[in-house]
Amino acid sequence: NAGVTQTPKFRVLKTGQSMTLLCAQDMNHEYMYWYRQDPGMGLRLIHYSVGEGTTAKGEVPDGYNVSRLKKQNFLLGLESAAPSQTSVYFCASSYSLRVEQYFGPGTRLTVL
Amino acid sequence: GENVEQHPSTLSVQEGDSAVIKCTYSDSASNYFPWYKQELGKRPQLIIDIRSNVGEKKDQRIAVTLNKTAKHFSLHITETQPEDSAVYFCAVQGDDKIIFGKGTRLHILP
């Protein structure tokens, strides 16, 4: 099993450009999450999904959109990237609430 | 909403000594308290968790204690080893979103 995978691993964008980060899991988990990690700020939840076709806002949702069209995939979109969105993005999944989350390897995004 | 405070932000201990990291939270409805370890350049991984109906849980050199009345919980690592060097995150979850602490960077000194 690959677990949780993320595409791409690294990306550099110019301000105003758009992009989509892809998260995939092969564990048949219902719950999926997108976090951003900034130095000294820990992990902050952007959006999450409690099942196929559902999404919900986390702590820091502004500037991001998500979609969960298939159970195994969770997409994070940036419509108009800003330098404040420079960060490391982690995807995670879990089979339920209040259980272990399995994280992907992360995507390092730089917005110039 | 929920607020999680984690202390200290940095901790250095001599190899073989114990390390303690503490987190406090604000929402008394929170009932799940995991701890994640993140090594440099790697993804976070769960090391131990505790639920609100338990006061203490232990797994080899790692233990977590929970004081629901005072709304704080702590990670204890005994007989520290070089491979314990990492950033540790506490987290708090109730019926909704999970909130992470800002992390503690643990250095194990030779």
> What pLDDT is attached to residue A4?
98
pLDDT digits 0-9 by tens, B59-96 = 999 999 999 999 999 999 999 999 999 999 999 998 87
Query: Between A and B, how many CB-CB pairs are < 8 A?
Result: 47
- Between chains, do B100 and A43 touch, taking CB under 8 Å as contact? yes
More confident residue, B47 or B54: B47
Per-residue pLDDT of chain A (112 residues; tens, 9 = 90+): 789 999 999 999 999 999 999 999 999 999 999 999 998 888 999 999 999 999 999 999 999 999 999 999 999 999 999 999 999 999 999 999 899 999 999 999 999 9
Pairwise CB contact (< 8 Å): A98 & B93: yes
- Contact: B9, A44; criterion CB under 8 Å: no
Mapping DSSP onto H, E and C, the string for chain B reads CCCEEEECCEEEEECCCCEEEEEEECCCCCCEEEEEEECCCCCCEEEEEEECCCCEEEECCEEEEEECCCCEEEEEECCCCHHHCEEEEEEEECCCCEEECCCEEEEEEC
| CB < 8 Å to B42, chain A | 105
